[in-house]
Amino acid sequence: MSSEDREAQEDELLALASIYDADEFKRAQSVQGGETRISVDLPQNFRLSIRGNQTEGLPSSNFECTLCFLPPVVLNFEFPEDYPSASPPAFTLSSKWLSRAQLSVLCKRLDQLWEENRGSVVLFAWIQFLKEETLAYLNICSPYEAELCGVGPKTGKNGAHEGDAGGAGGAVAAGAAGGGQEEGLDGRAVQDVDSLSSLIREILDFDQAQKEKCFNSQMHPCNICLSEKLGSECMYFLDCRHVYCRACLKDYFELQIKEGQVHSLKCPEPKCPSVATPGQVKELVEEQLFARYDRLLLQSSLDMMTDVVYCPRSWCQSPVMQEPSSTMGICPRCNYAFCTLCNKTYHGVSPCKVTADKLLDLREEYLEADELSKQFLEKRYGKRVIEKALEEMESHDWLEKNSRLCPSCGTPIEKLDGCNKMTCTACRHYFCWICMRSLSKATPYTHFQDPASPCFNRLFYGLENEDDIVDEEFY
């Protein structure tokens, strides 16, 4: 190798490393060469569709989408000792969305560019051609139809066969090309596709990754704090594309989650219905808050399901799927079998048991229910339980109107006649019927004799013939 060729090769490799970033150019370690990943320039709103025939066990399927980026065309090269003075670089050209026929056409064009620039470095010219002129040179326009086939040449959109030199609808062949030379195809052309599903996944993933890269490298105004920040410090809602800085969205999300408003993580733009994805929330908030968000989101979703109840055990509370025709629920976590109506241990066809507190609620529910609901309640709790609830209601109402509770033991006391010094029938405690204060066991009447007492001289207050009562000895 002449010193001039060696120096030219080193200068070209250093120039490529300075022009392109690490994702676009990698220099080989053991030889004079490397790999360039070239993103072909696409027109705005470029549409790609792929038809997949049944092959490799995959069902027939179709795919169509609008893209900003397609996976790169990969140029692997190695310099011979007499490059660039005499020989061109040895290379292979591979792609996931171009057929071997289309790649073969591009390989021949790279050969032509070398002939036009023989004796000079040529890699930058090759890269610029592949980036800027690939679509035009292959007569590819939007919408571009590609077809993934198992065997045989297929006719493209404009009637060009796979072996033709660059029809607009050139077919995408399945699998990578081997080292052998097929008729009409260049051995340096490699079509790198495993299956239709992998091709679609890689196309979508690359498009999204490149969009993120472009977004992160540009400046965007935050619609909350109104400052302009780099995209890497911002986030946008996927549906509406409204942009906000991460600091503002973090505060906004954390406030909503702490207040339990997990369904309110919407775009702050007024009347915008876009909602943050769980992945976006996880990126911004702390781990504990995201766990709360995830739990509340699941809880609200389960609450909307009519066939989901919760285990009544306070330490469990796991969601339980309820059979439509049964009132029995079995917790998958603690195996507790319970009645989904009363939350007690499952009791089969027997009526649900009702506590004293529940009776008060039950009578109100029964009195306000229509006939159909009353029949359901009678079937659920039993008619005798309903009658008992109504009796309890009448007793409760009567006691509220006609009795007072003993200040010592709480027993209801009814006053039929006599003075206002009362004795509890249950605990024998003395108390005043007027002010309900406890009275001295030894001298209960001093309460009515003390001028400072609110009940002074009112021992017989409230009796119908109070004026006819004659003073007794204890006065």
Place of tokens 């079937």: 379
Q: Are residues 431 and 366 in the same domain?
A: no
Q: What pLDDT is stored for residue 174 in this prediction? A: 31
Q: Are residues 198 and 286 in the same domain?
A: no
Domain boundary among 175, 208, 241: 208
- Structural domain including 260 reads 218-303
Residue 166 lies in a domain: yes
Residue 165 lies in a domain: yes
pTM of the model: 0.53
Q: E-strand spans in 118-210? A: 144-149, 172-173, 189-191
Q: Are residues 162 and 260 in the same domain?
A: no
Task: Note if the bond before 84 is cis, omega within 30 degrees.
Answer: yes
Residue 55 lies in a domain: yes
SS3 398: helix
Is the distance from CB of 381 to CB of 372 less than 8 angstroms?
no
Q: Are residues 410 and 393 in the same domain?
A: no
Is the distance from CB of 318 to CB of 334 less than 8 angstroms?
yes
Amino acid in the structure at residue 336: Y
Is the distance from CB of 74 to CB of 159 less than 8 angstroms?
no
Q: Are residues 395 and 413 in the same domain?
A: no
- What is residue 474's DSSP assignment? T
Nearest to 95, CA basis, from 51, 47, 138: 138
Q: Are residues 118 and 170 in the same domain?
A: yes
Number of helices (H), then strands (E), belonging to the chain: the values are 11, 21
Per residue of the chain (475 residues), what is the pLDDT tens digit?
A: 688 889 999 999 999 999 999 989 999 988 999 999 999 999 988 998 876 554 444 444 577 888 899 999 999 999 999 999 999 999 999 998 888 899 999 999 999 999 998 999 999 999 999 999 999 999 999 888 875 544 333 333 333 333 333 332 332 233 333 344 556 789 999 988 877 778 888 888 998 888 888 999 999 999 899 899 999 999 999 889 899 999 999 999 999 888 888 777 889 998 898 989 888 999 999 988 899 888 888 777 766 666 778 888 888 888 888 777 677 889 998 999 988 877 888 888 777 676 656 666 777 777 888 887 777 777 666 666 677 667 766 776 787 888 889 998 988 888 888 898 999 988 989 999 999 999 988 888 999 898 988 999 988 887 765 554 444 444 4
Is the distance from CB of 154 to CB of 162 less than 8 angstroms?
yes
Q: What pLDDT is stored for residue 169 in this prediction? A: 31
Residue 456 lies in a domain: yes
Amino acid in the structure at residue 417: D
Nearest to 108, CA basis, from 190, 161, 186, 40: 186
The values of phi and psi at residue 404, to 5°, are: -130, 150
Q: Is 202 exposed, middle or buried (0-12, 13-18, 19+ CB in 10 A)?
A: middle
Residue 328 lies in a domain: no
Number of CB atoms found within 10 A of residue 114's CB? 20
Q: What pLDDT is stored for residue 360 in this prediction? A: 66
Q: How far is CA 373 from the centre of its chain?
A: 39
- What is residue 225's DSSP assignment? T
The values of phi and psi at residue 181, to 5°, are: -95, 120
Q: E-strand spans in 208-276? A: 219-221, 228-230, 234-236, 243-245
Please state whether beta strands 189-191 and 90-95 pair in parallel, antiparallel, or not at all (unpaired): parallel
Is the distance from CB of 351 to CB of 381 less than 8 angstroms?
yes
Q: What pLDDT is stored for residue 356 in this prediction? A: 58
Q: What is the DSSP string of 73-85?
A: EEEEEE--TTTTT
Residue 318 lies in a domain: no
Place of tokens 């062949």: 173
Number of structural domains, the chain?
4
Q: Are residues 68 and 182 in the same domain?
A: yes
CATH number, domain with residue 245: 3.30.40.10
CATH number, domain with residue 118: 3.10.110.10
Q: Are residues 245 and 372 in the same domain?
A: no
Domain boundary among 208, 227, 243: 208
Q: What pLDDT is stored for residue 55 in this prediction? A: 41
User: What number of residues does the chain have?
Assistant: 475
Q: What pLDDT is stored for residue 54 in this prediction? A: 42
Q: What pLDDT is stored for residue 83 in this prediction? A: 94
Q: Are residues 151 and 230 in the same domain?
A: no
Domain boundary among 176, 208, 240: 208
Structure tokens at 262: 């997990």
Q: Are residues 35 and 135 in the same domain?
A: yes
Residue 130 Cα distances to 113, 144, 203, 303, 327, angstroms: 11, 18, 18, 56, 69
Residue 324 lies in a domain: no
Residue 316 lies in a domain: no
Nearest to 38, CA basis, from 73, 78, 69: 73
Q: Are residues 48 and 153 in the same domain?
A: yes
Residues annotated as part of the active site: 419
Q: Are residues 289 and 431 in the same domain?
A: no
